[in-house]
Structure 1
Amino acid sequence: DFAYEKKGLFEYFLTKEKAAHGHELVEKAVSLGLDTVFMHADDVRALEPQTRINLEGAVLFRGDAHLYPNKLMKNLLEWMKGNGVMLVPKSPVTGFEKNGKQIKSVITAQSRYDADLVIIATGSWSREVAAMLNTKLPLMPGRGYSVTLENSPYKLIHPAILVEGRVAVTPMDGNKIRFGGTMEITSTDKPPQMSRVRGILDAVKKFLPDFDVPMPSEKDIWYGYRPCSPDGLPYIGRTKSVSNCIVASGHAMIGLSLGAGTGLLVSQLANEQQPEMDLRPFDVGRFD
């Protein structure tokens, strides 16, 4: 159980200009086979009777779903532990032992692990790990922030992106609501700018005037890093510098959406099977 719900996803438009663009968005989405419709403001409000919404119109992506990431990760880790996967926390990789073009072992500060195959799937830290193997992986962290109301007094049925505010609002796991946003291209070593959260909450108030969410204390603000490639495509494939290393990183803001498909492709590569799709657009060395 990870609170998976298929309720669709709204994109709310605050201005007439953006609402007009929504019609073009629907046309493009439908041409790609997505179940998508444009909705006028009153039709949206009829689907959200418990909430006042300021908007000129919206696009509804009917096929979208959402879940509670905390539950997903907790249950996934428990499943892995119960199925023979050894997890080694707080053991950052410091290097690799190689024999020619093959990795023989992975070195950490505490230990050494023999390896037949290495998969680099370390998110925004993948560039640094790949560099230990003389593999260039152009990648920058994109920091985002979120605030979660654990027992929200505000009601929203469908997840929504507040387009002009560049904020996502997600009701989930019962009575929780999460507000998230920003794409801060930065370094993982640079301290977070908690003031960014004020901008997120101000944007929420413009679209949802009854959502009077106070600025939380720093301990209640979550932030994390999305691994962003220069062209927006992930890296999926084997490295050229060594023969037994696969990279799976650079999924930016849609890692959860692409995770299962990437896992299948990595499994096929690891087992030397024909991948389900052409991986050339995701080639690890495409910027060399």
Structure 2
Amino acid sequence: MNKGTVIIVGAGIAGLSAAYYLINDGWNVQIIEQNSLDNNCSYGNAGMIVPSHFTPMASPGMISQGIRWMFDKKSPFYVRPSLSWNLMDWGLKFMKYANKNHVDNHVEPLRDLNVYSSKLYDRLSQESDFDFELEQNGIMMLYKTKALEHEEIELAKRAQDLGLDVEIKSAAEIQALESDVQFDILGGILYKCDGKLNPMKLMKQLIAYLKSKGAIFQEQTTVKGYNITGKKIKELVTDKGNFAGDEFVIAPGAFLMELTNKLGLKLPLMPGKGYSFLYNPPSDVKLNHAALLLEAKVAVTPMDGKIRFGGTMELGSPNNKIYQNRVEGIVNSIPKYLKNLSVDYPKQDIWYGYRPCTPDGLPYLGRVSKYENIAIAAGAGMMGLSLGPAMGKAISQILSNRKFETDISVFSPDRFE
């Protein structure tokens, strides 16, 4: 049964996941992407599936920590100075939500969405069209200081209370998990509920699958506006022509505000620039688990025989510059935790992308009340890849007027109206 045509803006993991579930639910799908299909934030991320990330980025302590980091050009977090009203407005809202009540009210919806998304990855990996190195063997959270040890153990206990599979480990117990790597740590937490995958393989396989099912892709296409009648969008206006549809899904990652401002919608969001690079470890070193180097905020993911290192959160207007000191901060932190890995500054193939960061640390997921045929799937920040399948599945359910498996009401795109 043909349910009609859906125009999806954005070919990142949220947009492609929405396309996957929609096309299998009987919709015609067209995907509009402003870049090429092999150039968006979903390709270069750490590939982590993280039910462990049940607390929003807007949380107690983030403001004071962020201020301390601001004075270190190699720190994990940086706000590039700007007179931008969007940045100032975002910052004021972030301060409003960085409190315990906000966290307490949203840990369960975030946990449920991440856990459900992880299950959807399991199902996807069992299909014959997909083999994207999915391993649900856990992620190690590694720390070096007593202060962070206390915080992480408290967080791990809360995770256990929420029903997540989590183990608190000594340094020796972490070392026993990885015989080839020499750790210099105080201890760690193994979030057995977490997993990892190869995002490059996943994205390419999703695109190939969608094309085989009749999805139409329009690359290098910029949205200029919308043709609107009453409370319905009739056409998407682009520099490559107009695209008519019955439903429209806006999933453009960090460029959400550019598209929704044209619709008179208030969805505050800032791009958070991150860097990553691939490293060829020595032949006698194999890393089995993904890890987060907590004080440094660096992600470490074994991927296709290599190791991907990634990190930093640099808020500000998008640009095409690679700031060497940000990458040096990642490189310099690695031997402080992984003693036998000698990682040089990557002379080439440094990847960067922009995470879509909302001021309350929650994604935008659902319909908007101002229009009858628009749904939003964006703003998942550092959880973008982890939440992709669940966000896509939710969009499919919403457009077919079916109830979604978890409570997503707190992620309403209307919450800042």
TM-score by length of 1: 0.95
Q: 1:222-277: per-residue Cα shift (whole Å, max 9, x none)?
A: 11111111111111111233211111111011111111111121111111223333
- Distance in 2 (CA, whole Å) between partners of 1:86 and 1:37 is 45
Match of 1:253 among 372, 382, 404: 382
- Distance in 1 (CA, whole Å) between partners of 2:303 and 2:323 is 26
Per the alignment, residue 416 of structure 2 pairs with: 287
More helix by share: 2
Match of 2:288 among 153, 157, 162: 157
Does the 8 Å contact 2:269/2:358 carry over to 1? yes
Residue 73 (structure 1) aligned with residue 203 (structure 2): yes
Q: 1:153-177: per-residue Cα shift (whole Å, max 9, x none)?
A: 243221111111110111122x110
Q: Which runs of 5 or more residues in structure 2 are unaligned?
A: 1-130
Per the alignment, residue 162 of structure 2 pairs with: 32
Does the 8 Å contact 1:3/1:67 carry over to 2? yes
Does the 8 Å contact 2:281/2:341 carry over to 1? no
Q: Which moved more, 1:78-87 or 1:251-260?
A: 251-260
- Distance in 2 (CA, whole Å) between partners of 1:45 and 1:19 is 17
Letter in 2 for 1:152: P
Once the two structures are superposed, the pairs formed by residues 1-288 of structure 1 within 5 Å of their partners are 1-149=131-279, 151-153=280-282, 154-173=285-304, 175-189=305-319, 191-217=321-347, 219-288=348-417
Q: Which moved more, 1:136-145 or 1:10-19?
A: 10-19
Letter in 1 for 2:390: G
Task: Give the drift of 1:44.
Answer: 1.2
Task: Give the drift of 1:26.
Answer: 2.0
Does the 8 Å contact 1:135/1:240 carry over to 2? no
Task: Give the drift of 1:190.
Answer: 6.3
Letter in 1 for 2:202: L
Root-mean-square deviation over aligned CA pairs = 1.4
Structure number with the bigger relative contact order (C-alpha 8 A, sep ≥ 6) is 2
Q: 1:14-55: per-residue Cα shift (whole Å, max 9, x none)?
A: 122322333212211100101111111111112211111001
- Report % sequence identity: 42
Q: Which runs of 5 or more residues in structure 1 are unaligned?
A: none
- Distance in 2 (CA, whole Å) between partners of 1:247 and 1:262 is 9
- Distance in 1 (CA, whole Å) between partners of 2:326 and 2:254 is 20
Task: Give the drift of 1:214.
Answer: 0.9
TM-score by length of 2: 0.66
